[in-house]
Structure 1
């Protein structure tokens, strides 16, 4: 879908330092609220910016409790790409550390829940998918510059192919 005028305006504003900081504070709770009110069909960011938002539920690395975060999820067939930009802040987002501690997670896309396994991308594969993110949301280009002290992680979420009884583990496909 081609971005509308409002979508372009919101996306441009999110690529400015003051607004990125502001959105970093208000976007997650606002997205959760709209998501809940729309019964999982939309988020504030999907309405205002026209971006593909998924709800990612991880297991807290320190607490062991479920943590749900709205994120820009770039679809790639049955998989999704996540960019851990944290709005260009100096540190990685909490959800990234949660996935490092336990790569199994749940995502909700268009009201459908899916079990996934996260893999951190490296090298040319990471760069290719980061550029795909920049093509969807130009703010990622600015975020890369603001977070120059760190390499922004890029993760790929693949369907979890563990057995229903939980007896097996998902391995990285070749």
Structure 2
């Protein structure tokens, strides 16, 4: 792990970090679009860009997200930096689980499966190993359940074999 990644993981617990990161999301979207998904989150953490369909607008909505891998799937969490409300992209996936992701310059379709029970607990452990600040986000969000999704590649353009993180 790089020194920058280690520092970022430590800073992620601070409230100001989440606020600053939320301000940088639009810039991160632009960098992701310009690099066709090859650079997201400044290349520090394993990140993808998810494109969902707006549940009210019907328009495509893209968001950069940290991910971990689980077999052939990508696991993401709707932490919203510890805010008390769910992020829009998570609500969009609940309304329509079909989405697209850009991972390292590859774009492909996925189906979002919400995790629950023992599977959610197992995926939570994978996520907090990659980004320990998720524990802090749960506290900040008043203990609300933060949604976890397994993004399973579907159809054309899906990568062959297990994904690689980072």
User: Alpha carbon RMSD of aligned pairs, Å?
Assistant: 1.6
2:134 matched to 1:140?
yes
Partner of 1:98: 92
- CA distance in 2 between partners of 1:39 and 1:82 (Å): 20
Unaligned runs of 5+ in 1: 163-174
User: Does the 8 Å contact 1:13/1:20 carry over to 2?
Assistant: no
User: Does the 8 Å contact 1:108/1:114 carry over to 2?
Assistant: yes
- In the TM superposition, what are the counterparts of 1:1-174 in structure 2 within 5 Å? 3-26=1-24, 28-43=25-40, 45-47=41-43, 50-161=44-155
User: Does the 8 Å contact 2:36/2:102 carry over to 1?
Assistant: no
Partner of 1:167: none
Q: CA deviation at 1:98?
A: 0.4
Unaligned runs of 5+ in 2: 157-166
Q: Deviations over 1:84-134 (max 9, x none)?
A: 111011000000010011100000111111111001111111011011100
Q: Deviations over 1:120-172 (max 9, x none)?
A: 1111110110111000111111112112341011111112259xxxxxxxxxx
- CA distance in 1 between partners of 2:53 and 2:111 (Å): 12
> What is the number of equivalent residue pairs in this alignment?
156
TM-score between the two structures when normalised by the length of structure 1: 0.84
Partner SS, residue 114 of structure 1? strand
Runs (4+) of structure 1 exceeding 2 A deviation are 36-40
Q: CA deviation at 1:46?
A: 4.3
- CA distance in 2 between partners of 1:89 and 1:40 (Å): 26
TM-score between the two structures when normalised by the length of structure 2: 0.87
Evaluate the alpha carbon distance shift between residue 46 and residue 74 of structure 1 in structure 2; reply closer, same or farther with a 3 A threshold: farther
